[in-house]
Every structure is written in C-alpha cells, then in structure tokens.
Amino acid sequence: MKHTKLLPRLIYFAVSSFIISMPALYNGYPIMYFDSGNYIAQSVELVAGDLNPMGYPLFVRAFSWRFSLWPVVFAQGLLVSVLIYLSLQTIFKGKNVWPIHFIIVTLLTLFTGMGWFSSLIMADVFAPVMVLGIYLFFTPGTKWPVKVFALICIAFSAITHFSTQYILLAMFIGLMVLGKYVSQYSYKELFVKGAFLLLAYFASVIFINAYHYVDDKGFKSSNSRHVILMARLMETGILDDFLDENCQEGRYTLCYYRDQFPTRVSRFVWNKESPFFKTGGWKKSEEEYKEILHEVFTDPSYLAMFGYKGLISTFIQLVTFKVDIIHLKPGVGPDYWIHREFKHEEKAYKTGRQAYSSPTLTTINMFYYVLCGISLMLIIIYFLKTNKASDIDLYLLITIVLLGVFFNAAVNGTFSNVVVRYQARINWLLVFAGLILVIKYISKIKIKIHV
C-alpha cells in the first residue's frame, strides 16, 4: 500500500467506525445490558468468571485502558467495518469497493442491529465477527495475510462467549458436510481448512480452561454450566418428567420444589426465591445437578426429547429477534463499576437515554424484519438461478452466512433459551448478503445498458 493512500484509508475507517457507533452516540454513552457490569468487573480484576470466559473482558481491558469505554465501542465498530470491507473486496474483484462499503455500512447501521450491537458493551458483536472471519478464511478470494487476520478473529471470537465457541464447532461440522457442494475445493483442501477451524476451537477450549486453572478454579471452562443446563431442562419441562419418575425415594432436593418451578431460564437462575437458590445456589447445587444431567443425557428417551425441544426452539429463535435497549434503573447493571473505574464518565452514563427509559425502536425493528425477509427471498432466488462456479466467493459467503445464522439460533435456542437479543446480533448478516445481491444485480443491468 502506498504511503499516499494510507492516511486517507485510515481516516475513512475511523469515520466508518464512528458511523457504526452512531447508536452509542445517540444514547449518549456506550449501550449497556444487565451483564455488562460482569464484563467490566472481569476486565478490571482479570478474574475468570463462571458465566463468561475471559476473552471479551480482555478486549474491554485492552481498549478501555481503564479510562473510558468509548474506545471499546469504536474498536468494535472498526473491526466490523474492516471485515465488511475485506469481504466486499473478495466479491467485487478489481472494483473500487469504497463507495459500496460506505453505502452498506450506513444502511446496516440505520436499519439493522449491526450498529446497536457494535455499540453494546457485551460479547454479542463477536458472533457476526466470527462468521465473517470464517468466510474470509475459507474463500479462495483472500490472500494469506487476510486469512491469518481472519483466523485470529475466529479464535478470539471463540473465547469471548461460550455460544460463539459452540457456533465455531457447529460451523466446522457444517462446512465439512456441505463444503464440497458449495465450494470448488478438493477433499484434501477442505480438510486442511477445516483442521484450522478445529485448531481454533481447541485453542479456545485450552485457553478458557487454563485461565480457570491459573485462577484456582480447576482446569474446566466454567463452574456454572450445570446451572444453565438445569434451567433449560426446567424450561422445556423435561426436568418435571424426570422428577416425576425419580422423586419417590426423595433422592433429590429439587423434588420438594417442583411446584415452584418458574417458566423461564432467567427466573430460575437469577430470582433469589427460585428453587435453584433453595437447593444450594451456585456452589452447593453442583453435585446433585450434575447427577441429574448425567441421568437425563444418557437416557435415549430424554435425550431425544431434548433434541426435539431444541429443534423447535431453534426455529422459534430464528424469527424471534429485535433491537432492544434496556432501561438502566439505579442499582441495576454496571452502576458500581462505572462509579469505581470510570467515575469521570458517570454523569454521561446516568444522563444517557437508557437511564431515563427504554428507547422505543419500533421503526428500526420494522425495517430490520422487512429487510431480513426480502434478503432471504433474494438469497433463495440466487441459489435457484446461479451456478456456484460462476461466482464462487459470493456463493460461499451466502452459504456461510446462512450456516452462521442457523447455528447461532440452534446453539442459543437449544442450550440457553429464546431471547430476542441472541438472534438480533447476527441476522444483519442476512441483510448484508441481500444488499450485495442487489448491488450485483444493478451492476449487471448497467453493463447490459452500456453494451
């Protein structure tokens, strides 16, 4: 890259990161969620969390400098902007993609959840980052420095949240099964690329486990996974069926609280009056819960029912999404850590839109739903009318986007619960693919007119 072009490009990417961060600017402060306080706490104390791996807290630590959360938001926007640009370069070979990039970034920020999740102090932004990273690593249209950068993005995304780690494993399996049909790679080339994805997955597992081990929590990824899985069994009704068959002998303490089971995972885990806290809470429930989980997941009938419930939840999660900004009431969320670590920003935090109410985003969500629907129709038409050999990079991009969107819904819907935030964080990739198809179609019309 010539030095004369470097500065304008750096300025452009800085501007594009500000565009993507518009929702945070609109809010008056980086957007927060209930769990944002946990991430900030981990970034300060560098202690392995039971619910969240250390990847995202390290990211917050690296870019906040324990001084301000604004650089974290801008860094997330910059990362998304660069990945979109690199993806567009593979699709529009030899063309000036800067105008296309600007249009797409602006539209995605204004009418989808991209900007909102890039402006959020949560690990959600790394789900689409991983998907775009997988595309850039797999497609033949990228050079090795880009592939190295993509692999770093994939591996890091996998240590930001357990869901992204599972999505990576699912993407590996999906691409090994479908790769030959959606690419022109030989089996050898496909397996080599898959091996790198698998390596990134195992590297993330080792990192998370090792961090827990160094923090004297044992060589394991989490001390709370049994709680989330138990809450999921409770929500699906499988736990009720299991206890009906196994409570005659008073074997489990949960038997005494069957009539108090809530209807949602969140209420089971966080409500202090829930059966979870009455049966030992985070530390004392592990032995009983793990015994129940072992019994359930080694019984073919319960396992089949769990799979069926997970499949239904997957399809519900696919269409259950919206941009949703919570109302930060006093004492809720990251109040303590903002006061302690970013005191000079506390006034901005308390005077942001979130501090007064939950902003109404009805118009944005309407556009988000409509654009996702239109994009999905365009994708279906594209697959029906296009031969993969004619445009392999775009064919592969759309395939990987579809796999990422589906596996995101499957992982969260099956092992956690259906939440609008989980799918809204990644569905903008569908609109991204749809916009590329529209631009490609317009380009073909122009070529025909000139001819």
pLDDT digits (tens, 9 = 90+) for 102-152: 999 999 999 999 999 999 999 999 999 999 999 999 998 889 999 999 999
Q: Which amino acid is at 343?
A: K
Q: Which amino acid is at 62?
A: A
The SS3 assignment for 120 reads strand
The SS3 assignment for 262 reads coil
Length of the chain: 451
Residue 317 neighbours by CB under 8 Å, 6+ apart = 409, 410, 412, 413, 418, 419, 422, 423
So what's the pLDDT on residue 64?
A: 94
Closest alpha carbon to 415 in 167, 247, 71: 167
Query: How many C-beta atoms lie closer than 10 Å to residue 226's C-beta?
Result: 19
363 contacts 112 by C-beta, under 8 angstroms: no
| Gap between the Cα atoms of 302 and 2, Å rounded | 62
Q: Which amino acid is at 355?
A: A
287 CB-contact burial (10 Å; exposed 0-12 / middle 13-18 / buried 19+): exposed
348 contacts 28 by C-beta, under 8 angstroms: yes
So what's the pLDDT on residue 449?
A: 59
Report H helices in 225-361.
225-236, 238-246, 265-270, 275-278, 281-284, 286-297, 300-319, 335-341, 346-351, 353-356
So what's the pLDDT on residue 317?
A: 96
pTM of the model: 0.93
Residues in the chain with pLDDT values less than 70 = 1-4, 223, 389, 444-451
Residue 76 neighbours by CB under 8 Å, 6+ apart = 20, 21, 118, 119, 125
